[in-house]
Each structure stands twice: as C-alpha cells, then as structure tokens.
Amino acid sequence: MAIDNEKELFLGLGTNTGEREKNMTEAIERLSLRFGIPIAQSEVIESEAWGYDSPNKYLNGVILFRTSLPPTEILNITEEIERELGRKQKTLNGNYCDRPIDIDILFYGNECIDTPRLTIPHRLLHKRLFVLEPLARIAPQFIHPILEKSIGQLLDELREAQEE
C-alpha cells in the first residue's frame, strides 16, 4: 500500500567501464538499500556512447521505486552511490566521458524541478533511445509532465525521427 506522500521515482542507470554487469548489480543493490524493493526494473540493454565517442559500449536500464524522500536528498544518495562505485566526475572539461556508473533521476512523480543542480524530468530523456527503450518496457503509459506524451509515444517519435 502506497503512502500518500510517496512518488514514483524513475532512475536511469548506465555503465561502460570496468565490470559493467557487476556495476549495474551493485548500483541496484545500493539503491534498493536506500529506497526499498523496486516496483519495477527493466531489462538491461546495450548501447553506443551518446554525445561523445567511446570504444566502450554502455549497459543501460531503468528502475522504479516509490519514495517520500525529497528530490535533493535523492540526488545526494545517487551521487554518493556513483562515488562509492568509482565515479570521479560527471563530465571531463564539460564533455561526457566514460564512467563506471551513471544514475540519473528521470522522473519524480509528475513534479517539474529546474534548479542549477537538478532538473526533473531529465531534460534529455526524450532524445535518448537508451533511456526510452528500457523505460517503455516498464512504464509505456507514463505521461511526461512537460511534453504531455506517453513514454511509448516519445519512443515511437524518436525512432521515426532517427529513421528519416
């Protein structure tokens, strides 16, 4: 039974260095210790690096929790887990770079947050197949609160745009 102040928390996970499968498993275990048993978890997909060149392919997935923790506390937790698993920086000279783990807050219920430190919904999720594909497997009907389209619709639109 959900508590009234709990929100659906969708997290995107990615890893492309080290023991990728172990990185994903460790991240999910650590997240579960902080947020409880996941409500849903996507299959893991493999993808090319996005936004930069890398010879290392990514493993990506999405996990859904319910939580009443505030978004800034969630961000603190995800950043702490990233550091524990070996992540040293978000970018290198302002550019994306390889990483042992990346944990992005995709959605926090239907809330919209835009601060210098945190933007929810994640501002690029609708442009990333590696996010939309696993997200659509667990929540195809979830409506993006800004774009007002379902995850399934966003995935179809992105696939169509990439075919052109």
Model confidence pLDDT, tens digit, residues 10-49:
999 999 999 999 999 999 999 999 999 999 999 999 999 8
Taken in order of first residue, the domains within the chain and their CATH numbers are 7-163 (3.30.70.560)
Give pLDDT tens digits for 95-111: 667 889 999 999 999 99
User: 88 CB contacts (<8 Å, ≥6 apart)?
Assistant: none
Q: What is the mean pLDDT of residues 115-137?
A: 95
Average pLDDT score, the chain: 92
User: 147 CB contacts (<8 Å, ≥6 apart)?
Assistant: 126, 154
Cα separation, 127 vs 37, in Å, equals: 29
Per residue, the 3-state secondary structure of 5-50, as one string, reads CCEEEEEEEEECCCCHHHHHHHHHHHHHHHHCCCCEECCCEEECCC
For tokens 């492309």, name the residue: 16
Confidence of residue 1 (pLDDT cuts 50, 70, 90): very low
Give the per-residue pLDDT at 145: 97
Give pLDDT tens digits for 40-78: 999 999 999 888 788 899 999 999 999 999 999 999 999
What pTM was estimated for this model as a whole?
0.92
Give the per-residue pLDDT at 104: 95
